[in-house]
Structure 1
């Protein structure tokens, strides 16, 4: 933050020089003035004009096949890739699974994200002026810290044969995309490979596989960036240990990328610190390959969401559209704070909205099974019996999308363009914290005159509340028990008091 003091004087001198030189400082200043909008977004300091503002929309083809439609801000049906580009998105990430189908051709779900769908997504991204990041999982289904299973076709290969298969698969997949005219800017070799990749858990072997993937990328196009992807930046020493291991084993890559979900992954200051350490000590570019945040606690499709939860999660922002915008903006700032090496942020699955409302669960299940538009189908049990086999179903992140449940863009989608200028909105209360009161029966029972609130600009304060006195009197009269009393603050927003009367 710039300190005051001599700055106004220096600004006056600068303006005077601009007049002498024939410039008009008022116009220069106008370009960076915050725009009027539906949400507040603080301008990101130090953001480069080439900063990656990306999204991963790997599920979108399966969603569209399931009947999902997307709209622009005017409410007109429009190709989602055009809507994303209009909102400031300049990069699209797409996951690629080797063979996400059973022997009868039934898809495992999660978008049935094979090469064919990646090509479709890549072509639409390129047609709308966005680059593509190709995310190879080197698995037939989800690869993450808990599971890194090799593709079925590689299950019985020797390690040397697996290396050759990985190289050839990577090279041929990228060549297929290039023939379709897709603008590939980056390739991710593995997904959240904290302790494994393609069935290998020994780091020396993992590093050999990383290099085979990297070699394939270089052989196709030496200008394409090679990224590696890890997660859990909150664990002390994790990223230093990984970066040192990669360096010691001579792994050839350009970008060290991290997942960062605010619910689980520690502070933003820590994220900046660990990424900056890798950038400064190992000469790598760094970025966030996945992030997201909730805008509502509502479940849109009848399948339980991953957040918010009452325990085990950190929710520093209101669960609102504005809170979501603040969360995304702050992750972008954290990466920009690394310096020139901080190259971008990708939002994970901003379009994974319901295929139908929650009350039509049976119909939704049919669509998920038919088109793979949920996170997993029952057919995935043959490949992933312990996870997908037990918990298959719909979208677990529909309340973290940047589109509402009906496919219309939320104001938070525009955070990608507002980080360049800042945005201001009419000040209003964004969130009110419910209150909990324990009282003794027969004693003096009252509710607080004011409640804590968070405004849409991020400020916190208090607001006078008017409680439902009739409901309160009934509760007091009944005595021992638990009651919920509704209150209203100025502007009409409601708040709940959870009253517990003890004997």
Structure 2
């Protein structure tokens, strides 16, 4: 991703949104009455993340009998079902249990609700169970009495590490009921870290960010809170800072003053982050300006070092800076060795073959920056049949791996509590290239005893494909490299277009360019990350939400122009579920019979695992609804949300 292009576009968007009478009128007429913890600009309905895992490609089913039909319980059609076969006669042990088992493809800590829809609205004896290993089972719902759970059941779950679900019919008899559908609902894990790369907090340290739109519009004399306080209030838990060696203008190559995102200034921001009880990430660019897939310039101070000295400098500078962080009490939770390094980093003499022309100072002073070999990768020789080209391809992989290993060893030595991350991308949708990248690099790092902890990707739909493509890519990488955790190190989505007023979604995205679309697009990435089996993805970070694809809107007030948090910023806090409701019940009654709806349903608090009853207020049953066999629904309300009762009307016995 070309950060220079990104920031140019960002500036245009930001200026288009800054101030303006129309904006003030919109905020005033919206009747905002916001407390200190409510986002202000625009509107966004943010519901907790919930995924029915049963519909995912990686979820499979098997059965003790009629196994070919097991998948019918996951096909989303209640008109199809798995039914156990009649047991064979003459068994010494009586009639065996019959069971449908669903494999979720890996462990889930956020699985909180399981719904089983039976094939028939007839009495059945069955048990719903869960397991981490497929051998030891815990009961979620026990309906062996043959009276409860008619037509199906919804069970709330307070267990971690669930991979298998089972519906077991003890001592099944001919005509035993079956399973029409099994739904397994996944919610955000407690340990999924949501946050941002907020490196621009450096130069925005003195910019007030208003939490209360009415106060801002009234010209509140007191400055608003610090940006770090705003994002913490909204639920961000982890913030990443990029580190440039000697910050310089990408256009001119001249060192900048102040040296924003340089090592010294970033020490201060790092301390401010940990002082607010947020975890810290460090992203070494190993450059003086932007390092990304289109450019990876060496720092000027290292440009003419022979390769062995360059390698030592990577180690020493990494270790020295992390030591400073640790000594000031700002130990990073995570350290990225390089930024978006799909094409390598620390480009040197190999840049002539790569063909890079950015940044300008890198080519204008080629005699300096390209005088010695570096760690750029020669992808143009990938799969070449020319032995000389293949040798060059391999040699550059060796150099890149050597440099990366030195950075990783430095992290291990100076900050052993930090996890090490390698940050790449799926380049223009070419997953095969990314898989080659991980295979080549990890093979070398493992051989050097310098393996990382986390494999990370950037995801921007306009460059990296649809949400479904992201899901496919994450699962492919997770399956191929099961020993590593994963991250989404960067993502973003705009809330406003430039010029303003065009809600057309970005390429490859279904979400409009609005405040609501911004919330939905970012939450979709949260959901995809959370749904990878095995709890493999550790976190999701948005990139520079105060600047690029901003989650703030600049509002003109009588006291000046200030950034007001978009309503979409609450996606970090409100995507977590606070109460899981038994929101679906199934009731069986005879023709012309009385419909007995439950007075209460269960509600689970994931925070403490408590399950309590909550009262339901039901709508009236329609007149004549039970006059003949069939089904109908009745809506109910609770303090935790709506409930639906499906009533099965059956002929009298």
1:114 aligns with 2:270: no
1:204 aligns with 2:398: yes
RMSD: 3.4
Q: Report the 3-state secondary structure (helix = DSSP H, G, I; strand = E; otherwise coil) of the residue aligned with 1:63.
A: coil
Q: Which residue of 1 aligns with 2:201?
A: 60
1:247 aligns with 2:442: yes
Q: Deviations over 1:77-131 (max 9, x none)?
A: 112212211111110000000001479985189x821012221221111111111
Query: Structure 1 pair 78/15, CA: closer, same or farther in 2 (3 Å)?
Result: farther
CA distance in 1, matches of 2:143, 2:503: 56
1:149-228 aligned at under 5 Å gives the runs 149-199=297-347, 200-201=375-376, 202-228=396-422
1:421 aligns with 2:577: yes
1:143 aligns with 2:338: no
Q: Deviations over 1:424-444 (max 9, x none)?
A: xxxxxxxxxxxxxxxxxxxxx
Q: Cα distance, 1:203 vs. partner? A: 1.9
CA distance in 2, matches of 1:146, 1:261: 15
Q: Deviations over 1:187-230 (max 9, x none)?
A: 00000111121112122211111111100000012221100011
Q: Cα distance, 1:59 vs. partner? A: 1.1
Q: Cα distance, 1:263 vs. partner? A: 2.0
Q: Deviations over 1:353-394 (max 9, x none)?
A: xxxxxxxxxxxxxxxxxxxxxxxxxxxxxxxxxxxxxxxxxx
CA distance in 1, matches of 2:459, 2:254: 34
Which of 453, 469, 479 does residue 270 from structure 1 map onto? 469
CA distance in 2, matches of 1:254, 1:321: 35
Contact 1:188–1:227 (8 Å) recurs in 2: yes
CA distance in 1, matches of 2:528, 2:502: 23
Q: Cα distance, 1:176 vs. partner? A: 1.0
Gaps of 5+ in 2: 1-51, 55-114, 129-139, 145-155, 158-184, 216-222, 348-374, 377-395, 555-561, 580-653
Structure ranking higher in strand proportion: 2
CA distance in 2, matches of 1:276, 1:322: 28
CA distance in 2, matches of 1:308, 1:240: 37
CA distance in 1, matches of 2:407, 2:438: 17
1:72 aligns with 2:201: no
Gaps of 5+ in 1: 18-27, 30-43, 301-306, 353-396, 424-503
CA distance in 2, matches of 1:108, 1:262: 34
- TM-score calculated relative to the size of structure 1: 0.63
Q: Cα distance, 1:246 vs. partner? A: 1.6
Which of 90, 96, 115 does residue 237 from structure 2 map onto? 90
Query: Structure 1 pair 212/309, CA: closer, same or farther in 2 (3 Å)?
Result: farther
Q: Deviations over 1:451-473 (max 9, x none)?
A: xxxxxxxxxxxxxxxxxxxxxxx
Q: Deviations over 1:273-331 (max 9, x none)?
A: 2223323332111111010001011469xxxxxx9898993342111111000000000
Contact 1:168–1:216 (8 Å) recurs in 2: yes
Contact 2:506–2:513 (8 Å) recurs in 1: no
Query: Structure 1 pair 96/260, CA: closer, same or farther in 2 (3 Å)?
Result: same
Q: Which has the larger radius of gyration?
A: 2
Q: Report the 3-state secondary structure (helix = DSSP H, G, I; strand = E; otherwise coil) of the residue aligned with 2:430.
A: coil
Contact 2:239–2:279 (8 Å) recurs in 1: yes
Contact 2:511–2:517 (8 Å) recurs in 1: yes
Contact 1:195–1:203 (8 Å) recurs in 2: no
1:81 aligns with 2:237: no
- Runs of 4+ residues over 4 Å off in structure 1: 6-11, 13-17, 73-76, 102-106, 307-312
CA distance in 1, matches of 2:335, 2:187: 26
CA distance in 2, matches of 1:308, 1:108: 37
Contact 2:457–2:490 (8 Å) recurs in 1: yes
Q: Cα distance, 1:49 vs. partner? A: 0.9
CA distance in 2, matches of 1:134, 1:416: 21
